[in-house]
Structure 1
């Protein structure tokens, strides 16, 4: 079997995911399609289910007697983003794969099928698992809050949820995937592109309702406070450092306003991003001061809720060596990007990278802007044949590219680190201490 022969089936699967996008923690059709593919190409392998829609499958070890052998996860994301301006967005939810997650799934499944059909996993110097994770996009937050309230989830992000559930406990390192937006002039991959981290602030401005025509003098306009607040954020950008990629994008997620009533309530949500965790906390404090000050200036109050988003993602440069070697021997992919540094996009790969060495392989083959109305795959042969072929080549030699010693932190370490930055879910704070992992730091 070749990747070319797998292409028709994988392309059909990816096209079906594009036509049926689903939001985080609700990717039920997507999960079913993935499970059916894994069962079809991985006869006899156990498929582990976690969270609402997550899936994990582990290939056997080629050297189970070797205690030093490492296990690597290939991680793909199941969910779509909300971008209702896209012509292919679901009209009911606004969901669309303008993030390219559908192709992550296709690439991971193509590699899985090829490894199984050719037995090439037996030549790998690491053991391999495939993890399909829900809810990477930090969207649809009201629904996720409901899921948390009902006890279905604890974390808004799918990887932190999987980390809490122990999905990564038997894994030593991770390889993530992501699309590159913008039309590339030649077949392209990218490595070593770091990502920002972020917090999410919800500010509820509270005023006093009154008849807007007859007696506006008795009212206190919450929407005016929200307007002043977003203006303050814009004016305050001049005082923010440029070297750590600070970003804020305030939005008004919902409104109850009518023109004949002075609005008593207005909600603004905004992310606060930076590649520097310490500076992220400083900027977040400025945002809080701006919200309280704008509310006070107009005679109202501001109620602020802070939700931890994701940690910054610093890719493991040692693991990237496997992709450099694979690229050097590739006849089809002609361009390697490895010098972009960091960008202000964020992902929960950053949280995973806190616990274990993590790298992300990005790939071209698209046109348009990531998350934009024009994003689409234009080179399916590159995305679904050439990239899986290169990824498999890199995975087979990943063991020799792992850092020495192999760093690892526990989930408890992760929670403690987050608590220094923002509130963590109360369900985590109240949970009993976890049992020590059978795999100690010395084992690694």
Structure 2
């Protein structure tokens, strides 16, 4: 029996526990940096399969790194498991976690023969927080020669495209005063926020089509007869490439700074999470994955323009990586809606996660055998 048949057999042998893991995570959604149960369940499944698990990888309590084998080629599979606030697993990260776990377990008996060190990294806070970016900075991916994951979706693609994403929290501090008796003594923080929004709205007219600015005001006073002393807002900026994101951030921040000068308010700008970079897929890994997907009879992949963001992109700037999308038969429902959450634990998604585990493991084996 050849290596690829062995991998498929190993995934079949672990299928009940992989599907159970996916459903368990799906039934108990946990949001960014709160994924204590999902991380523990995923790590326990790997540990039972012979992996050595390090909990709290990179200083993040809901991250882990599981390793098996001593080969010279280290391949990391990324297991996401965070959910969306209010929507549960509407992005199908339960499928991602189970597929990465399955790939690791499928390669476990073959790792030394193939010359592999197999690593499964539990990666929290993809939806918000930049978990992989933080783990990358902390050295959790050090020594890896390739990094892979699959993401459930409503279509199939091999070469993933993503926007770079930055977040920005803005706060103006002015001076409260009675709006009628002593308006001249006030410094209106709500006016500062209004000016910043107007400036950003005018800036949008001058932006290329692949750059976007979105934001909401989260506070701007409480009583109409009191000049607001504080206002706050939360913004996202997006661009097709990381270098464009840096330029866009500078221009948006200038809008806030100008408003502070105009109103005499103080400004505080913060970045609540690392920037998500644009994804750079590796042509070699993508080719190996595509060949395996075709051999397995997966739907023909489609090419898509950038449509999403992922912190896996940060990994791809440092380590050869792929992030294929896998059609889970959601009937047209797309990630981040309630119908997709239901589809992520349906029988079609269960079949897809098992095939994803096979594809990831076979791609890693091909990479090892090609060296």
Residue from 31, 47, 59 that aligns with 1:23: 31
Q: Note if contact 2:149-2:360 (Cα within 8 Å) is conserved in structure 1.
A: no
1:140-183, CA deviations, whole angstroms, 9 ceiling, x for partnerless residues? xxxxxxxxxxxxxxxxx322332233322221111133222xx4
Residues 220 and 228 in structure 2, CA contact (< 8 A), matched pair in contact too: no
User: Within 2, Cα distance between the matches of 1:342 and 1:108?
Assistant: 24
Could you tell me which runs of 5 or more consecutive residues in structure 2 were left unpaired when the two chains were aligned: 1-8
Change in Cα spacing, 1:277 to 1:161, as seen in structure 2 (3 Å) is: closer
1:165 to 138, 141, 149: 138
The one-character-per-residue Cα deviations of 1:222-275 (angstroms, maximum 9, x if unpaired) are: 223223322332332121112xx2122212345663445332111112122212
Q: 1:373, CA displacement in angstroms?
A: 4.4
Checking the alignment, whether the CA contact within 8 Å between 1:76 and 1:177 is kept in structure 2 is: no
Deviations 1:307-347 (A, max 9, x none): 6412222111221011111022113x22222x22433x322
Q: CA deviation at 1:104?
A: 0.6
2:312 & 2:333 partners in 1: Cα distance? 23
Cα 1:315–1:401 change in 2 (3 A) is farther
* Structure ranking higher on relative contact order (CA contacts 8 Å, 6+ apart): 2
Q: 1:132 to 1:335 in 2, by over 3 A?
A: same
Aligned pair 1:231/2:198, yes or no?
Answer: yes
For 1:137 and 1:5, the matched residues in 2 are separated by 32
Return closer, same or farther for 1:54/1:240 CA change in 2, 3 Å cut-off.
Answer: same
> Is residue 299 of structure 2 the alignment partner of residue 342 of structure 1?
no
1:205 partnered with 2:172: yes
Match for residue 352 of structure 2 among 383, 394, 403 = 383
2: CA distance, partners of 1:275 / 1:222: 33
Alignment equivalent of 2:127, drawn from 113, 119, 137: 137
Q: Give the match for residue 47 of structure 1.
A: 53
How many residues get paired? 353
Structure 1: which 5+ residue stretches go unaligned? 87-95, 140-156, 403-444
The TM-score, its normalising length taken from structure 1, stands at 0.71
Contact 2:148–2:360 (Cα < 8 Å) also in 1: no
In structure 2, the partner of 1:360 is 323
Residue of 278, 281, 291 corresponding to 1:312? 278
After superposition, give the CA deviation of every residue in 1:184-235 in whole Å (9 maximum; x if it has no partner): 4xxxx31112222233222212222233566556434322322332233233
- Asked if the contact 1:255–1:266 (Cα under 8 Å) also holds between the matched residues in 2, the reply is yes
- 1:76 Cα deviation after fit: 1.5
The whole-number CA distance in structure 2 between the counterparts of 1:399 and 1:230 is 53
TM-score when scaled to structure 2? 0.84
- Distance verdict in 2 for CA 1:372–1:222, change over 3 Å: farther
Shift of 1:287: 0.8
Q: Could you list the per-position Cα deviations for residues 11-56 of structure 1 after superposition, in whole angstroms to 9, with x for gaps in the alignment?
A: 232222122222333321112111221122x13x321221212222
Give 1:431's aligned residue: none
Q: Which residue of 1 aligns with 2:260?
A: 295
Bigger helix share: 2
